Structure 1
Amino acid sequence: MNASQDHPTGPEGQGPHPERPEAAPDAPDGTGDATADGEELASAEDETEHAWDSRRDLYRHSPGIMLGRSARIGGSLVGGDQHGVSGGHVTGDVILGGSKVEYHLGADTEERSGEIPASEVEALARNFVHPPAERDGAVPDDAAPADRGGDPDAAWEPGSPFALALAGLREHRLAILYGAATTGRRAAALMLLRAAGARSYRALDPALPLGRLPGELREGCGHLVADFATGAERPLREHHIRALSERLHATRSHLVLVVGPHPVVHGGVVPVPWQPPAPAALLAGHLRNKDVGGRSVDELLALDEVRSVLAHHRPVADTARFAERIADYARGTVSLAELGAFGHYAAERQVREWFDSADRTLHDKAFLIALATFDEAPYPLTAELSDALFGLLQRIENPGEPARIPVFGTSSAQRVEQALADRYQEPEETEWGPVLQTKVQFRDRLTAITLLREVWTGHPSARPALVAWLRRLADDPRPVVRTRAAATAAVMAEADLPSAMALLIRSWAADRRLRARLAAANALALAHHLGAPHVSRILAEWCTAPDHRLRWTAVRGYALVGDAFPQEALAALTEAVRGMEARGGPARGWSNEREDLAQSAAALLLAGGQEAAAREDWAAAAGLWDTLPSLARGATRDFVLRAMVHACGPTDGAAGMGRPLLLDLFARADPRPGTDGAVLRHALAALWRSVLNDAVCSASGLNTMRQWVRAAEDDRGAETALCELLPLLMVSSEDHRRLAYLLENLRGEGDSAPPPSVALRLRALVSAQREDAGTSAATPSR
């Protein structure tokens, strides 16, 4: 974030009067709220940035999806297990740790396994799809075809995870399959047992101690232990594995242990990672065995609504449910809109399971909320701020007990896996340049927004903690944190506008701190992107409000989202200019009001022009920029020229480097006479001439032109655009002299830098243009 600094004519390319630190809040004078005596001046950290920089930071730090971007002790029971004591010897586990000693006493009569019906396994086999082998390059010639579903006895592909696990299961009669809980790993384990020859199946209790597992094995049976917990505190050691294998061979049975994505196994059997096939392949496998009303599977998979749902990573179980929904659509019992909404239904179901689960602690749920707020953001940031939220939630749930945050609790990998999220590395943009960070993102892209909506509307008891947390985030020195606070408030505004306005956005907008007001503007802008109602009405009302803080928020809000309704936004900004002049000038608490108004107009014009250019809709771009001169009547003329100067400053690079955006817009416009692009070019040139011939704005305009010429030194496209622009600016002899003097005396960056070579070439162009104009004037007409 680049705060402007005081300068009599403004930084080059930033306009005639840069933004300054806000003066002391004004006394009651009809232009703002009265403030208490002794209120401090705004500090340096409250200096606001250029409106275009605010817009760029908002888009840089917002989630992508927004912008298109869950020991009992009683009687004789200790820990739930009892073992016998005989002859002074204790049989069973004795766990020693610190000052805690647990004795497991008595005989265990609880049944620790249960039959899985063979019919259930066969039904599962009819829909099962084997994943392909991972390979670099082409498929080997001897590879067997991969089963795509519908044939339970089809061959699996050599080298695939299924083939590797099956080979181990046949050799050791034991296989260890690891992966995320949502990958269909339990179904894969049952298919492994079936492929190994099992015809009866039993599910074993995953809480069984490792030493007890061999005693639970049945003769000639396929055994499954799903969700077996193994980690540093409970590793699978070599003697455990060999004891199991020995017992399995003796009983002619098989066992598949299904563990999490981070197993701790010491020798004996190599764990096999399980990844499901592509979602489309899974879906096809389920659909081939369903009544789809005579429709082909390929036809159904090609539907836009189906492709949209498959574009988001989701659990295998959700894919199976989606197949049922598609079959219902094919039979005419579900509409196409309901089919396309399946992803939202699935995300809502998952979020409600997290919040309703008694197995997830308040600490876990605070992490989920923080992850939803900081989806696609660095993991350490999420973990740090989730602990702050946990403390606030703990005060509501148990105010008499202080929050106890485990310093070294669940590992980051386990926390991320429990949240059905992924970690990845990606450069994070900072004011010093990109920095590689470990980030976290929900696998289902719909989860974050769904979770925030659910916690705000479905759990109102959490609102005081959420509001306090977001207010703290909005005052954080890190831009990404402040932006995510605003983004979260935007989701809440979209879900419940009155509450979000009353509890968060309105109080931010009326705050004396610029950070808080920027958070309000960001929240309104993102809420509009999410479809919240009445955002334009709120901005229009605040833009002429008596409180200058509300006016500032509205003006900055137009810079962020005004390109969505440009005519209305420009009219509101123009009316604000007239209101300022009617009050006799800027508000006492907002000394740079003129510049903020001009910057917002410049930002929304630049954004609208860029969007129109991306669509090659030059008529829309030309119409947008033609609107600006039409406002230049009376008191608004200065506003128009200042807006033009501010529009010339932003570039496509960081720290003012790169090609100026307005010059790029000029370069991309179609120059052929009679085209909309030519109209746009002439509109921009006319505004440039007005700036250069204005007594107040001329100095800032010339500074901007110097920056444009320097930017063209190593940019041939920018130089070509200047060669086409400068002739349009030279209408009078005064225009020729002004530009010639600028190019003759231009120096590179730094006091001793030589003149840029591009300046000399452009000077020659100006001279030639002047000579041609003189020759034309001297030649008599015939």
Structure 2
Amino acid sequence: MSNAPGSGEAAPAGAPDAKAAAPVGGKAPAGGKAPAGGKAAAKPGAEAGARTGKDDKDGAGAFPGALKNPLAAQSEAYASGLTYFAQGNTAFIDGSHIRDLQVGTRIVQHFGFGDAGRLGAGPVREEVMALTRATYVPVDEYDDLHAALAERRIIVLRGVSGTGRSTTALHLLDALAGGPVERLDDQRDLHQLGETDLAPGHGYLIEQAGPGLRELHLDRLGRLLRDKDAYCVVVLEADPLRPDNLGGYVWDHTAPRIESMITMHLQQALGDDEDETLLPRIEELAGRPETLRTLGPRPQTSEVCELASLLVLHARGHLSYDEVLNRSGQMIERQVLRWFAPLRDPARGPGHETEIRAGSLRIALAVFSNTPYDVVVEAAEDLTKELLTTSTAAVRHRRPVFSEDRGSRLAALRCRLTDDTVLLNGVPVPTQMVMFEDNRFPMAILTYLWQEHHSVRPALVAWLRRLNEDHREIVWVRAAQALSVLCRLDFPYVLTKLVFPWAVSDKEEERMSAAVVLDLAARDERIRPAVLALVHDWVRHEDDHRRRWTAALAQSRDLGLGNLDRALDNLRIIGTWQEERGGVDDDADDPGIAAWELAAAASWSVASLFAAGAIGPVVATLRRWLEVHRNGLRRLALLSVLQLMNTRPANVWLPGGIVVTPGRERWPLLLDLVDREPALTADIADLVWQTLQGAPAERAALDLIGDWVRAGERDAGCLDVLARFLPELVDSPARAAQLRHLLRTMRHEWIDPLRDDVATRLERACNQAGPAKENIA
């Protein structure tokens, strides 16, 4: 190769030539589509590392496209889904578990509004008002609300359903009005109310006033109320999109403190119990972390009341503590039952499509909780079409354009919007995410639908199939994770209908989905033995390389971590299949998938297990593979090391795996590791050094070290670590010359030449002699 301009040093033997130094994208793996940002898409430019073409026999071309690891692109979507779909066994209560709670001879009423149902128009019953007086826990802003209502005669309470807004409203009206409290018809516009609609000394509750409510309407009604010595509280859903045009009438309502609500309801349930030690004992149980976990992060007031009733039953010997936890945990499932109860009615009234839309949105959020809002709405609309087609013989589906907005969609979902970021080509970009307030809802919804509504299964599976065809990782990965839940519920059905066909598909994305389904389904200990047996058979006895490829990826995450020694041995077999077949060109033997693709898939899984925290076992295994004098095994080991060199902290898929240091998401993972855990430096340096010993890995390894240099150029901290690490690779003057030549070539690149200060610093580092190395192969 000719010298780079002005380099002053000839290229050492084995150094990359000018063509190899320039980025040249390799082709996507055979059989898979490669849409931008999609399942088979490579990371762009310097992030990819694989710059050589298929005809390059010295570098990555020995495995064309092998460094374009699809597991890296999936990591963020996969990790976010683990929050919702990583539980083991699945189960759901049936309707027979829903019953009143009895404490001694007293029936404890679960008092609440919102999702539990609104009061009917007319006078509020005295028993309801009495219970409000006895059990109401003031919210933090209660005194301010009381003063505002006394002054203005009308206020608006805005908040999330289930936080006790209507209870607060009743308590305020009872405290200020001299007469009875009534609920006005919420379908009637406030500007239509006149003097004849109001009675002297009464209190009025209005829930869910129409969207046309304005400050001038409240001013007018306030004057009428003052003339009648009456009071009114309007309850509205929190809606970030609704314009705040109600002036000083609006107050944001938050739920009372959970501990205070529990204590109040305990006192009410215990009544005049003579045992003075009972309340402290129950309060201690109520404050335990395992008790509070059953309520979730944002329980509704009725759920807190139910927990208090359960604790009283336990204190009086009617329930064990485990039964308390079990029944309290079932409140999530009863909420799901209430949500979908309207769809059980076989009648097809005018509100049928509205209920279908609400149900579809809940199902879509179950699959896509903590994803961008638009992803959820788009998926919900597609599911609505599917369900309407299934439930109605002739459907004329029209999507409302302006009748639905974000506030009306999210009002009853028990979810929240948050400002967050998603990674785009490794760079965080802002977006707004929507998620359930309680992480238990996704599993509860999917389990309920599958177990209780058999006729919904075809529509649900068809919808998830279509989602699987989406090129966006956040969509297809979540769809596959949702299918893993269904697989745990009905393993033979999902295995036959989806996993088996996908595992032999010519489309890489379908094989990856099959791997995700098997991996997460195996978290259920009842299913894990069947999945392990299936993988074992595909690895050793199947003639179809596509199943073998799927088996490799199925062991890349949790399934592999749980059986690490077996998984690494399986990956050894898969990745060396060509050599064990006597060097046969498997492209001709199996046109669906090539032998190099099996090695690539095996190396992807090795890198994924390493990133999940299996550092010591993977390093030991790679060293063992390198010590065996078998070309196929050495090639697999070197390719696996190249995958490690190409991995970024942002590609870590397991929250409990390697800890990602904030700000280092785009660093090379190996550099981050040697900086945080210096004891790993020698082992990591030795593995990287092995890739520099000539074909088949040397040129790809130099390309990847070039990517490390670019990362150091962008980040001074990364540059410091790289400058300390490079001497670990220098075992001879020839090695130092090899690395210096790479740096000088990069310094003189036509596009984005390396900064002189960076090149100079790293060239000096290469001149430092490192420890002696021995080629263990």
Query: Which TM class, normalised by the smaller chain length?
Result: 0.7 to 0.9
The separation in 2 between residues aligned to 1:10 and 1:525, in whole angstroms, is 41
For residue 512 of structure 1, give the secondary structure of its aligned residue in structure 2.
Answer: coil
Q: Which amino acid is the alignment partner of residue 685 of structure 1?
A: A
Q: Tell me by how many angstroms 1:255 deviates.
A: 3.8
The one-letter amino acid of 2:635's match is D
Q: What secondary structure sits across from 1:644 in the alignment?
A: helix
Residue 150 of structure 2 corresponds to which residue in structure 1?
Answer: 170
Distance 2:18 2:341 in 1: 60
Cα shift at 1:738: 4.3
Partner deviation per Cα, 1:315-362 (whole Å, 9 max, x = no partner): 222122122233444555444444444564122111111111266522
Aligned counterpart in structure 1 of residue 539 of structure 2, from 521, 537, 543: 543
Which aligned pairs between 1:487-636 and structure 2 lie closer than 5 A?
A: 487-528=481-522, 533-534=527-528, 535-544=531-540, 545-561=542-558, 562-583=560-581, 584-587=584-587, 588-589=590-591, 593-598=595-600, 600-601=602-603, 603-612=604-613, 621-632=615-626, 633=628, 634=630, 635-636=632-633
| Deviation of 1:310 (Å) | 5.0
Q: What's 2:430 paired with?
A: 436
Aligned to 2:355: 361
- Map 1:54-93 onto structure 2 (within 5 A): 54-60=71-77, 62-63=80-81, 65-66=83-84
Q: Which of 362, 373, 384 is equivalent to 1:390? A: 384
2:265 is the counterpart of 1:282:
no
Shift in Å, 1:434: 3.9
Per-residue CA distance 1:664-702 (angstroms, 9 max, x = gap): 2233324xxxxxx3xx44333333333222432222223
What's 1:686 paired with? 686
In structure 1, C-alpha distance between the alignment counterparts of 2:767 and 2:247, rounded to whole Å: 85
> How far did residue 463 of structure 1 move?
1.4
Q: 1:630 and 1:746 mapped to 2: Cα distance?
A: 34
Partner of 1:346 in structure 2?
331
Structure 1 CA distance, aligned partners of 2:688 and 2:208? 71
Displacement of 1:173 after TM fit? 4.2
3-state DSSP class of the match of 2:434? strand
The two structures, once aligned, show a CA RMSD in angstroms of: 4.1
- For 1:433 and 1:710, how far apart are their aligned partners in 2? 15
Note if contact 1:577-1:597 (Cα within 8 Å) is conserved in structure 2.
yes
Match of 1:224 in 2: 205
For residues 51 and 278 of structure 1, the distance between their equivalents in structure 2, rounded to whole angstroms, comes to 51
Q: Which residue of 1 aligns with 2:131?
A: 123
Give deviations 1:56-75, integer Å, cap 9, x for gaps.
Answer: 42433643623779xxxxxx
Describe the superposition over 1:681-729 as per-residue Cα deviations: whole angstroms up to 9, x where unpaired. 4333333333222432222223333333443346565455445544544
DSSP 3-state at the match of 1:163: helix
Aligned-partner residue type, residue 639 of structure 2: R
Q: 2:224 aligns with which of 231, 236, 246?
A: 246
Aligned residues: 658
State the match for 2:278 in structure 1.
Answer: 293
Partner of 2:347: none
Q: Deviations over 1:384-414 (max 9, x none)?
A: 2222211111121112233233233233211
Retained in 2: the 8 A contact 1:51–1:596? Answer: no
The answer as to whether partners of 2:84 and 2:442 remain within 8 angstroms in 1 is no
Which TM-score applies when normalising by structure 2? Answer: 0.74
Q: 1:308 Cα shift?
A: 2.4
TM-score, scaled to structure 1: 0.73
Query: 1:489 touches 1:505 (CA, 8 Å); kept in 2?
Result: no
Relative to structure 1, the CA distance from residue 125 to residue 749 in structure 2 (aligned partners, 3 Å threshold; closer, same or farther) is farther
Question: Is the contact between residue 131 and residue 276 of structure 1 (CA under 8 Å) also seen in structure 2?
Answer: yes
Report the Cα distance in structure 1 between the residues aligned to 2:148 and 2:745, rounded to whole angstroms.
79
Whether the 8 Å contact between 1:467 and 1:503 is mirrored in structure 2 is: no
| Alpha carbons of structure 1 residues 528 and 193: separation in structure 2 relative to 1, 3 Å | same
Contact 2:156–2:251 (Cα < 8 Å) also in 1:
yes
Determine the C-alpha separation between the residues in 1 that align with 2:360 and 2:576.
48
8 Å CA contact 1:121–1:190 kept in 2: the answer is yes
The code of the aligned residue for 1:575 comes to I
Q: 2:576·2:636 contact (CA, 8 Å) conserved in 1?
A: no
Q: Answer yes or no: is 1:272 the counterpart of 2:251.
A: yes
- 2:472 partner letter: R
Provide the C-alpha distance between the structure 1 equivalents of 2:575 and 2:607, rounded to a whole number of angstroms. Answer: 20
- 1:312 has 2:297 as partner: yes
Query: Would the aligned equivalents of 1:13 and 1:703 in 2 still touch at CA under 8 Å?
Result: no
The residue that corresponds to 2:165 in the other structure is 185
Determine which of 633, 638, 642 is the counterpart of 1:641: 638
1:20-70 CA-to-partner distances (Å, cap 9, x unmatched) read 34159xxxxxxxxxxxxxxxx99997745456542442433643623779x
Distance in 1 (CA, whole Å) between partners of 2:224 and 2:216 is 12
Aligned-partner SS, 2:210: coil
Deviation at 1:514, TM superposition (A): 1.9
| CA distance 1:294–1:253, change in 2 (3 Å) | closer
Correspondence for 2:476: 482
User: Contact between 1:228 and 1:258, CA under 8 Å: does it hold in 2?
Assistant: yes
In structure 2, the CA distance between the partners of 1:415 and 1:767, relative to structure 1 (3 Å rule), is closer
Which of the residues 676, 701, 707 maps onto 1:668?
676
CA–CA distance in structure 1, aligned partners of residues 427 and 633 of structure 2 = 39
- 1:753 is aligned to 753
Mapped partners of 2:291, 2:484: distance in 1: 28
C-alpha separation in 2, matches of 1:737 and 1:266: 71
Structure showing greater radius of gyration is 1
User: Map of 1:7-46 to 2, 5 A cutoff?
Assistant: 20-22=28-30
Q: Report how far residue 380 of structure 1 moved.
A: 2.6
Whether the 8 Å contact between 2:417 and 2:435 is mirrored in structure 1 is yes
Residue 332 to residue 607, structure 1, CA distance change in 2 (3 Å): farther
Change (3 A) 1:557 1:586: farther
The CA distance in 2 between the partners of 1:168 and 1:372, in whole Å, is 40
Query: For 1:478 and 1:188, how far apart are their aligned partners in 2?
Result: 45
> Equivalent residues in 2 for 1:247-262 (5 A)?
249-250=227-228, 252-261=229-238
**Alpha-carbon distance change, 454 to 112 in structure 1, aligned in 2, over 3 angstroms:** closer
Q: Residue deviations 1:566-593, cap 9 Å, x none?
A: 3222111112234333442444435554
Which letter maps to 1:177? L
Q: Return the letter of the residue paired with 1:351.
A: V
2: CA distance, partners of 1:593 / 1:486: 26
Matches of 2:297 and 2:280 in 1, distance apart? 24
Q: Structure 2 vs 1, CA of residues 42 and 237 (structure 1 numbering), >3 Å: closer, same or farther?
A: closer
Match of 2:462 among 468, 479, 483: 468
- Matched residues in 2 for 1:748 and 1:563: separation? 44
Structure-2 separation of matches of 1:393 and 1:68: 27
Identity %: 24
Judging changes above 3 Å, is the alpha-carbon distance between structure 1 residues 589 and 206 closer, same or farther for their aligned structure 2 residues? same
Q: Which has the higher contact order (CA 8 A, sep 6+)?
A: 2
Partner of residue 306, structure 2: 321
For the residues of structure 1 that align with 2:20 and 2:169, how far apart are their CA atoms?
A: 67
Q: Do 2:712 and 2:718's aligned partners in 1 also have CA atoms closer than 8 Å?
A: yes
Contact 1:173–1:249 (8 Å) recurs in 2: no
| CA displacement, residues 502-557 of structure 1 (integer Å, 9 cap, x when unaligned) | 33333333322222222222333444467783244444433343223222222223
Per-residue CA distance 1:223-247 (angstroms, 9 max, x = gap):
434x344223xx4785687467536
Q: Residue 181 of structure 1 aligns to a residue in which SS? A: coil
Structure 1's 323 and 47: CA in aligned 2 closer, same or farther, altered over 3 A? Answer: same
Task: Tell me the SS of whatever aligns to 2:139.
Answer: coil
- Secondary structure of 1:692's counterpart equals coil
* Cα distance, 1:416 vs structure 2: 0.8
Alpha-carbon distance in structure 1 between the residues aligned to 2:220 and 2:766: 88
